[in-house]
Homo-oligomer: A and B are copies of this chain.
């Protein structure tokens, strides 16, 4: 339970973009393209490395890669070569079947690593699409494997990243398998805002980078249901919604919706 303090920088609707540089950035021209200088390192790399190991880690990132909004970083069927650490921007990953079914499997933000799906078969099995202009660090997987044989902390880190993804997906399965629409949306909002807060953003305000349809796909709901549920939350005074700008007025109410597991009519 964390309390609902105002945004640390008192920002309004407009300023609450996920990619706004609230984590202080140095002048980009001064930054060497290397993890050891990266302010997101503690999000996507192991901590507690000594100087020698830090230098080795820098070998992992081959290049950086810009991805325009709407462009795909990788897609289903493509050869797998690298994992990608998100530096800036916001992604969705989704699986698609031949018969046109589509499922958003996750939304990823700065400091998170995507591409793990490709390891097992040497080919990607989902699409990663940028929901806003983004930059990723390209980490060739053979380099990661090589280095993690030598740097124990990196090996451990890779295992944790994969395990974390497995556990995250367990949570999504719980959501999809047992929650009703309001519970799903409440859980979704709490999850998003918690991750944003961990990156220095507000605990109560967020700017959705995805459409209602994408939220619906992720939550196993139709876009109309997402829209209606937002409206219901607004009626109940739990959130304010202006298009994609969401202000959470009552975090505890959202938590209650998720946890209380109300039987209808009780």
Could you list which residues of chain A lie within 8 angstroms of chain B, going by C-beta atoms?
95, 97-103, 105, 116-121, 125-126, 145, 148-150, 152, 155-156, 158-160, 162-167, 169-174, 176-179, 217-220, 259-261
Smallest CB separation, A260 vs chain B (Å): 7
Question: Which of B101, B173, B260 makes the CB contact (< 8 A) with A169?
Answer: B173
User: What residues of B have a CB within 8 angstroms of the CB of A170 in the complex?
Assistant: 95, 103, 105, 117, 125-126, 169
Q: List 13 A-B contacts (CB under 8 A).
A: A95-B171, A97-B259, A98-B259, A99-B259, A103-B173, A116-B162, A116-B166, A119-B159, A120-B167, A121-B167, A169-B172, A176-B177, A178-B220
Question: Which of B103, B118, B177 makes the CB contact (< 8 A) with A178?
Answer: B103
Q: Are B116 and A261 in contact (CB under 8 A)?
A: no
**Known contacts A117-B163, A149-B155; 15 further A-B pairs (Cβ under 8 A):** A103-B173, A116-B163, A116-B166, A117-B166, A119-B159, A120-B163, A121-B167, A126-B170, A145-B156, A149-B149, A166-B169, A169-B169, A169-B173, A173-B176, A177-B219
